[in-house]
Every structure is written in structure tokens, then in C-alpha cells.
Amino acid sequence: MRALSLREKALVVACVVVLVGVALVQFGGRMGAVQAKPEAAELSRRRTQLLAEIGRMHTAIAKLTLPADKAVPEALSLVGRAAKQSGVTVDSARPLRDVMVGGLTRHAVQFNVSGGFTEVATLLEGLQRPGARLVVERVEISSADAGSDRVQAQLRLAGFEPAREVSRRRVRP
């Protein structure tokens, strides 16, 4: 057998390196697959949990959102009932223009009410319920008569739903 030339030795070494590399990749791939199975199972389990949580959030959002066609009637009904229970007079009600606020569409109704301070406070307390679809967004109270506890209040109730194109105008805080 003749001696290998330097070039032939280099080719043999290169072939051995390639074969060793291929063997390591295949062996490492199998090891990675074995290690990846528990990780893949965990990721799949976590994905299922997150999808379930997203479903619960969508359900909760649906319960709290208020479509435009229901905002004014629900606000009138809510304020009317609370005013009757508290002894406050509703002087006026005015729907406001729908406005986009942070990815939501706000449907608001402004009310002017009058009565004794305690009665107006009772009205406000009756309007602020946990989980309500309408929230008291703004309240301004002023004295109606300096000699009595009678006050006038301007209330803004708002309901929200996922945004739709109504206006690019931003609401002032």
C-alpha cells in the first residue's frame, strides 16, 4: 500500500469531520426531540389554558359592553329608577355623540338633576354598582339656593363597546 499524499490525508480528515458532524447532529436531534417532548406538552397545556382564559375574558367583556342602540334607553331607565328611589328630579337628559376612547366606543348620556344634597348623593350611590354596564363618568354639583341644601347636579353616564369608527375626536379628561 502506498503512502497517502498530503492532499489525500486532508480529504480523509475532512470526510471524517463531516461524518462525525452528521452523527452528532442526528444524535443531538434525537436528544433534542426527547427533551422537547415535555416542553412541547407544557407549551400545549399552557396554550389551552390561555385560550380558555381568553374565552372567559370575551364572555366578561360581552356582559359589560353596551351597544349603541341600548345605551340611551338603559341610561334613562337606570337614572329614572334611581331618581324615583332617592327623591331627585331629573330636569333633562341629552345623549352625547359617540367617541372612540382607547380602542372602545363610548356612548354617553348627560343628565341634569336637582334635589337635596343628601338625595343627590343617594342617587349617585344608586348609580355606581359593581359590574354595571353604565358608569358614572362625570359629576358636577352646584348649589341651587344658598339658603338651603338644594343642589343641581350634572351627571354623565357612559357605556362602552369595542371600537367602531365613529369619530377621531379624543375625549378630554
* Across 93-122, average pLDDT: 92
Domain 68-162 belongs to what topology?
A: Alpha-Beta Plaits (3.30.70)
What pLDDT does residue 151 have?
Answer: 94
Closest to 115 (Cα-Cα) out of 78, 153, 82? 153
Residue whose cell numbers read 353616564: 157
H helices present in 65-116, as ranges: 68-86
Give the residue among 68, 87, 91 at the shortest CA–CA distance from 161.
Answer: 68
Q: How many residues does the chain have?
A: 173
Of the ranges 1-15, 83-97, 156-170, which one carries the lowest mean pLDDT score? 1-15
Instruction: Report the 10 Å Cβ neighbour count for 127.
Output: 22
Q: Kindly tell me if the per-residue pLDDT of 25 is higher than 70.
A: no
Instruction: Categorize the per-residue pLDDT at 33 as very low, low, confident or very high, splitting at 50, 70 and 90.
Output: low
Strand partners of residue 111? 93, 155
Q: What is the mean pLDDT of the chain?
A: 80
Domain boundaries, the chain: 1-64, 68-162
What is the number of alpha carbons within 13 Å of residue 100 lying toward its C-beta?
10
149, 87 Cβ separation under 8 angstroms: no
pLDDT at res. 108: 93
Band of residue 121 on the pLDDT scale cut at 50, 70, 90: very high
More reliable by pLDDT, 15 or 111: 111
Per-residue pLDDT band at 130 (split at 50, 70, 90): confident
Cell matching residue 115:
334635589
The whole-number average pLDDT for the span 29-45 is: 69
**Residue 139, pLDDT score:** 94
Three-state DSSP string of 19-46: HHHHHHHHHHHHHHHHHHHHHHHHHHHH
> What's the pTM?
0.61
Q: What angle do CA 126, 129, 132 make, to 5 degrees?
A: 125
Q: Which of 108, 96, 101 shows the shortest CA–CA distance to 163?
A: 101
DSSP 97: P
Residue 92 pLDDT exceeds 90? yes
Evaluate if residue 35 carries a pLDDT over 60. no
> What is residue 87's DSSP assignment?
T
Q: What are the percentages of helix, strand and coil residues in the chain, rounded to 5?
A: 50, 25, 20
pLDDT at 167 over 60: no
Looking at residue 113, what is its pLDDT?
Answer: 96
